[in-house]
Chains A and B, each alone.
Chain A
């Protein structure tokens, strides 16, 4: 148990579907992150939120839309995804300069 919970664990969706990934952290951290992990590529940072405010959008296509209603919850809304978006999506949280703690991820498959 890492203190960062992601749901669902697995998701299969068609290119025209709309779905959301959820992340919740129970560590009292003030920053949350979304990463994408594709096969044979390094972990890629997508979005950063500090105190609920988005501070980084790493050139992510608009078909990915993050939402951070409070410091403990982070969502990633998905719409009209492409097959190359199939990947493991990892959420992380941190406090100050301390190391980031990761959730187990959502394995996303786009048909």
Chain B
């Protein structure tokens, strides 16, 4: 059974801080890892990672996959209050296009 574990469970920081969120996984026939941001409604897609060691970047957010360590990190620099959300990590195996989600990291950014 595929498994995804995220840490920390929750995090409180102040604006301007840098945060690193962690995701580790156990999956049969790994295909890709995805990061989503969920505020009050729909999870919104951030990154899809398939290759180890290649950083993906979007503004202040970046993510990288380590297939040897079966993990990924999501970095947010110069955090803003609008970054407050639950960050979800999910993996996809080659058996299909089903996502297995981790429990999420709840990030709160204080002014």
Answer yes or no: A80 CB below 8 A from chain B CBs. Answer: no
For B36, the chain A residues whose CB sits under 8 A away are: 102
The answer to whether A104 and B41 touch across the interface, beta carbons within 8 angstroms, is: yes
Size category of the B interface is: 20 to 34
A-B contact count (CB 8 A): 52
The segment from B12-20, B43-51, B64-72 that touches chain A is B43-51
Please report which residues of chain A, range 43-69, place their CB below 8 angstroms from some CB of chain B when the two chains form the complex.
43-45, 48, 50, 55-56
Interface string of A75-111 (1 = CB under 8 A from B): 0000000000000001000101101111111000000
Interface size on A (CB < 8 Å)?
25
Answer yes or no: A4 CB below 8 A from chain B CBs. Answer: yes
Answer yes or no: B25 CB below 8 A from chain A CBs. Answer: no
Interface string of B70-111 (1 = CB under 8 A from A): 000000000000000000101010001111111110000000
The answer to whether B42 and A56 touch across the interface, beta carbons within 8 angstroms, is: no
User: Which of A2, A40, A55, A90 has a CB less than 8 Å from the CB of B96?
Assistant: A55
How many angstroms from the CA of A57 to the CA of B34 in the assembled complex? 22
Residue in B closest to A97 when the chains form the complex, CB atoms = B97
User: Which of A31, A41, A103 has a CB less than 8 Å from the CB of B42?
Assistant: A103
Least Cβ–Cβ distance between B32 and chain A, in angstroms: 7
How many angstroms from the CA of A94 to the CA of B4 in the assembled complex? 21
| Top 8 A-B pairs, shortest CB-CB distance | A104-B41, A43-B101, A102-B42, A42-B101, A99-B45, A104-B42, A42-B103, A102-B43
Interface positions of A (Cβ within 8 A of B) = 2, 4, 31, 33, 40-45, 48, 50, 55-56, 90, 94, 96-97, 99-105
